[in-house]
Structure 1
């Protein structure tokens, strides 16, 4: 199928490319785009694919008075998982209420908010040829060590959806800027914040073409109208360079450039 990334990606940057649909578990040498929420797509990306609708599901596979075990397809979006957990009074997915993306991408980035992350209640992940236990997936801050395509995941959740936590996490997400963006450009370095560092070096609100480092939060790049790949890449590299020159800190990208 043809996907126009200017319409499909969250930052609204990119051209139209052929994207393969994986409707069965099989090997794929290329990049899975998921919901394209943290992607900057170049004019000449690598081979692209996404998971078919067969992997958009939530299935209860075990349930008792203490916990509920779910199998979730990696094409399932965060909002659907959040609403399922809320409806069935399950704890652990409250942070997904305002995080965009499909499960595969959430796992790949070990997505989270505050102290919560997607791997916290994970048991295992299925690839084309095997099931990997959580401890074999090398999860760390905004990172997962699984290199193969992820098709399904199993989670064990306790009961007690936390309404107070849900509201607090939504408020934390509401403090982030609106507009077409990737979310965070960089991972936060140890004991500091990427946004603070970028602001200190004077780049908050800085523009290149229609790409702008947000005036509200300097770790967000906003496409104000019709930003190009080159505009966005220029700002990302400029922020990285300025922060290193000023603080000696290498900012690590959270956005994936393909």
Structure 2
């Protein structure tokens, strides 16, 4: 059992049963929750699962670094830093598991997972990135990610850290699940949310940060709940569509 009001980064949820996956043979109905970042889980959600610690590792191969899917991004970042390897400098600013970051092709601006990725272990089979569809905050991956291999690029770029630090300064420090919506082509979700008056708008303590309009935050832990989060997300989407004709795509993952 996991108490999602403690487990999720947004600190909203109920106590639900969660299975542990320890090998490639698993119930295909199970849904991986990772470390609970950028995630909302309904009180009625079923078939939830996490990967066991067996998939928390980092090892070197010929021309690549293999990282288990349940390895934290901070651990992978430190490995690349300590071993003077480039390409993943940005993940030090992105909380979560390697599996989760690969699944959503996570990134910051033009820096994203696919740029350094070599191949992904999906349901036990290694598949080259060339045979997978990666786009802005999206992949074609449907199975469970057990590990990923990244190109071994010599030279950690320290100069990028200042850029990522500046980008983090505009992000709220309160309980958050990160960006709620993906940026529409040619525009920014935060600008649209602010333009329709939703910046700093909350329902029962959950809503869009007054520091960064696209960040879904919880400013009243213990009061905010799943239904309130869904209401505020749907309201923002409706207002943006009514005013701009844009149907925003959610970046936050909702497990109903």
TM category, shorter: over 0.9
Displacement of 1:26 in angstroms is 2.1
* Matches of 1:229 and 1:212, distance apart in 2: 11
* Matches of 1:212 and 1:237, distance apart in 2: 11
Secondary structure of the equivalent of 1:178? coil
Secondary structure of the equivalent of 2:135? coil
Inter-CA distance 104–218: structure 2 relative to 1 (3 Å threshold)? same
Which residue in the other structure is 1:85 paired with? Answer: 80
Residues 45-56 of structure 1: pairs in structure 2 closer than 5 A:
45-56=45-56
1:175-197 Cα offsets, whole Å, 9 max, x none, are 21111111000000011100000
Which residue in the other structure is 2:130 paired with? Answer: 135
Structure with the largest fraction of strand: 2
2:227 corresponds, among 227, 230, 246, to 230
User: 2:219 aligned with 1:219, yes or no?
Assistant: no
Displacement of 1:230 in angstroms is 0.9
Which residue in the other structure is 1:239 paired with? Answer: 236
Point out the more displaced range, 153-162 or 244-253.
Answer: 153-162
CA contact (8 A) 2:124 2:146 kept: no
* Matches of 1:220 and 1:231, distance apart in 2: 15
Point out the more displaced range, 207-216 or 32-41.
Answer: 207-216
Q: How many residues align?
A: 252
Displacement of 1:129 in angstroms is 4.1
TM-score, with structure 2 as normaliser:
0.96
Where structure 1 has 5 or more consecutive residues not aligned to the other structure, the ranges are 63-67
1:32-74 Cα offsets, whole Å, 9 max, x none, are 0001101111110131001100100000112xxxxx4111100
Residues 1-258 of structure 1: pairs in structure 2 closer than 5 A:
2-27=1-26, 28-62=28-62, 68-225=63-220, 226=222, 227-258=224-255
Displacement of 1:159 in angstroms is 0.8
Displacement of 1:245 in angstroms is 0.3
* Matches of 1:47 and 1:77, distance apart in 2: 23
CA contact (8 A) 1:97 1:170 kept: no
TM-score, with structure 1 as normaliser:
0.95
* Matches of 2:54 and 2:109, distance apart in 1: 32
CA RMSD, 1 decimal: 1.0
